[in-house]
Structure 1
Amino acid sequence: MEPRPPLVTVIVPNYNHARFLPLCLKAVQEQSYAPLEIVMVDDHSTDESVRIAESMGVTVIRTPVNSGPAVARNTGAGWASGEILFFVDSDVALAPDAVATGVALLRADPGLGAACGIEDPEPLIRSTRVEDYRSLQHHYWSIGSEGEVSFLWSAMFAIRAEVFAETGPFNPLLKHTEEVDYGHRLSRRHTVLITSAIHGRMGHDRELPALLRKLFHRGRTRVPLYASRRRFARGYETASRAWASVAALLAVAALPLPLVLGPVATAVPALLLAVSLACDAGMYRFVFSRRCPLFGLFFVGVHFLVNLVIIGGVAAGAVQWLVSTRFRRLYETPAPAALGARG
């Protein structure tokens, strides 16, 4: 006889994603895998999220205050009765076989701690060019990381409940880098895999300021983690991407040089700009091969700005690390036990 397939609990953390939620929950309900239970943990949304989920017959747990995705995921894990947990963010619509693929990968390799998916290059809902930019950029960076990594791509991933319990919950004090911290802890004992075999469409920020704020704080709050552990996350944050950001900052800083040294110094910022573009050349080729030249130029301009924001966030984090003991110890605080266990 075939062994009984394990029960999977799909956990959907949500905060004000009513725009994406019907597509997300419908995709979960239409998964090819069984047996399956679904819970949405609503992190004190102020939109129609709870009404939408309940109208679709999905179990909803509500947090008493808005506490961040770490608390929402921990709460869902505490409620779950599945042998395998599949976390999917509420702005992601999974491919129909995503859960089945995650389960198959975990069952085939006892040493695999988590199997993470990769979002498709098209956004879940297309309404602005910023969404197109982010979906292509993040897809390309994720595909380039495919294989074994030391971070956790938390938008969609499968993990055994026993491994989650062993690793401990997400740190609820972290708002922007809880998945990076979790990946570092998980990869000490288990393999973490990111694979395009698990995939789905993902929603993104519609406006550039919101995206830039998010990237700035992610860069800033990574500093104490990497400073204490003296290594970057393996797979996602490559040397070429780091140098692209550094060269972009230096190019802007060098703009006044012609005023001081004369026209001959114009070559300095131009050369630094060329270095920044060259570091991301593979991604630009990918974008121009898929989209029209006009959008390609828009993409290059936005990504140059993104590089500046990322390196600005890292610089701000470095200053904060130097002056704040509390900031330096951000990742040293033990995470408390998971919340919301079934009564």
Structure 2
Amino acid sequence: MTTVSVVVPCYDAARTLRLCVEAVRAQTRTPDEIVVVDDASRDGSADIAAGLGCRVVRLPENRGVSAARNAGVAASSGDVVFFLDSDVALHPDAVRAALDVLRDEPDVGCVQGVYEPEPLIDDGPVEWYRILHAAYWRRRHLGDVTGVVFALAAIRRDVLEEVGGFDETLRDCEDVEYGGRLAGHGRVVLTDRIRGRHDDGHRLRPVLAEQWRRAVPLVPLTLAAARRGAGQPEPANRRAGIVVAALAVATLAGGLAAVPLGLLHPVFLLVPAVLAAAFPFTDPGLLRYVRRHRGAGFAARFAAVHFAVHAVLVTGLAAGALRLLFPARRTGGR
């Protein structure tokens, strides 16, 4: 019989960890073990996990999700490792569905799931933006994929051993880097048979800051994967939307840099506004999805936040490309 270990990395996750673990314990296919890796939390997360009967691995200092996942793999013994983020509560059949896919399709090395279109804990409109966007774009790519999101993903242990551990130098985009190395070690499948409710960020500034952190390393990671011959991860956003947002940011920056010209030709300064107004129509399917779940009024607010996220995304990508082209010189004397 195939054994399965659920590995949950956590850091200051007291708010959601109980919901996460209780959902794992309520699975129709009970995992053989639950390993919670506490990444030096300050809020008693480790005590919550221990009180729920989990095996707890305590890291002495905060090292990031890659190190926590690696520690969880080392402390577990299942034939299959089901990685689960501490802010996700699985649907009761999620573990069984993952094992069924891996049993029925031996050439699948990794199977991953999707988020439900409702948050685990409702914290307001910014969180609804995050939840609906993630639910939509993941479902858009169901089937064989290249990229992996390890928030709710099961992988065979022999595949893990072949590919190696997560890159502990990365605190963001570690899944992008790992997905590049996973190519050639079995199919990767994305299925809506594995589902979970996610508690996501609910304040705009931290959400935009996270988008920046994840955008900056994307260009070098993507180029590194291409050099290895690996495929590119499935995009979370439409290419047309990225292009329109990039043009809006570029023309706005150009207009601000040439204010006298803008005063002579005011129409020039209207270009960014026109592009921003056109932006929502670059992905009409997403707007329909949001409207269906939350109504037309919320869809308008969603589009505004979505544009702001795209503006940060394209500036982060540009910054990452510039860092690649002009690496900082190391200084220091003998």
Tell me if both proteins adopt one fold, taking TM over 0.5 as the criterion: yes
Residue of structure 1 equivalent to 2:262: 259
Q: Does 1:33 align with 2:32?
A: no
Indicate the SS of the match to 1:249: helix
Structure 1 residue 274: deviation in Å? Answer: 4.0
Q: Give yes or no for the alignment of 1:21 onto 2:17.
A: yes
Contact 1:21 1:90 survives alignment (8 Å): yes
More displaced 10-residue stretch of structure 1: 286-295 or 73-82: 286-295
**Partner letter of residue 221 of structure 2?**
L
Provide Cα deviations, 1:167-203, integer angstroms capped at 9, x if missing partner. 1111111110111111111123321111111001001
Separation in 2, partners of 1:326, 1:159:
40
- 1:207 maps to what in 2? 203
Distance 1:241 1:182 in 2: 26
1:245 partnered with 2:245: yes
Question: Which residue of structure 1 aligns with residue 41 of structure 2?
Answer: 45
Whole-angstrom distance in 2 between the partners of 1:229 and 1:8: 29
- Cα pair 2:225 2:232 within 8 Å, conserved: no
Q: Which residue number corresponds to residue 166 of structure 2?
A: 170
**Post-superposition shift, 1:284?**
1.5
Indicate yes or no: 2:112 matched with 1:116.
yes
SS state of the match for residue 15, structure 2?
A: coil
Amino acid at match of 2:281: A
SS at structure 2 position matched to 1:20: helix
Percent identity over paired residues: 38
1:9 and 2:5 aligned: yes
Confirm or deny that 1:98 pairs with 2:94.
Answer: yes
Q: Where does the alignment leave 5 or more consecutive residues of structure 1 unmatched?
A: 328-343
Shift of 1:73: 0.6
1:142 aligns with 2:138: yes
Distance 1:220 1:232, change over 3 A: farther
**Contact 2:36 2:54 (8 Å CA) reproduced:** yes
Deviations 1:239-261 (A, max 9, x none): 23432432442453465588345
Alpha-carbon distance in structure 2 between the residues aligned to 1:195 and 1:314: 29
| 1:118–1:196 Cα contact (<8 Å) kept | yes
Q: CA deviation at 1:313?
A: 0.8
Is it true that 1:279 corresponds to 2:278 in the alignment? Answer: no
Deviates more, 1:173-182 or 1:262-271: 262-271
Letter of the 1:294 counterpart: G
TM-score by length of 1: 0.88
- For 1:116 and 1:35, locate their aligned partners in 2 and report how far apart those are by CA, in whole Å: 16
What are the superposed Cα offsets for residues 148-179 of structure 1, whole Å, 9 maximum, x if unpaired? 22111110001111111111111111110111
Superposed CA RMSD in Å reads: 2.1
Distance 1:271 1:158 in 2: 44
- Report what 1:220 is aligned to: 216
How many Å separate the matches in 2 of 1:310 and 1:35?
38
CA distance in 1, matches of 2:329, 2:268: 43
Residues 110 and 189 in structure 2, CA contact (< 8 A), matched pair in contact too:
yes
Question: 1:53: Cα distance to partner?
Answer: 1.0
Gaps of 5+ in 2: none
CA contact (8 A) 2:143 2:189 kept: yes
| Equivalent of 2:83 in 77, 82, 87 | 87
Equivalent-residue separation in structure 1 for 2:255 and 2:93 (angstroms): 51
CA distance in 2, matches of 1:73, 1:170: 7
1 or 2 for the larger relative contact order (CA 8 Å, sep ≥6)?
1
Contact 1:13-1:69 at 8 Å conserved across structures: yes
CA contact (8 A) 1:151 1:181 kept: no
8 Å CA contact 2:66–2:166 kept in 1: the answer is yes
- Per-residue CA deviation, residues 56-86 of structure 1 (Å, 9 max, x unaligned), is 1111101111000111111111111111111
Superposition deviation, residue 227 in structure 1: 2.6
Match of 2:305 among 302, 307, 310: 302
Question: What is the alpha-carbon distance in structure 1 between the residues aligned to residue 328 and residue 176 of structure 2?
Answer: 21
Of 199-208 and 273-282, deviating more is 273-282
In structure 2, what is the equivalent of residue 339 of structure 1? none
Letter matched to residue 298 of structure 2: F
Question: Is 1:321 paired with 2:324?
Answer: yes
Deviation at 1:283, TM superposition (A): 1.0
Contact 2:143 2:191 in 1 (8 A): yes
User: Structure 1 residue 235 and structure 2 residue 231: aligned?
Assistant: no
CA-to-partner distance for each residue in 1:102-139, whole Å, 9 max, x for gaps? 00101111111110110111111012211111101111
Distance 1:291 1:326 in 2: 50
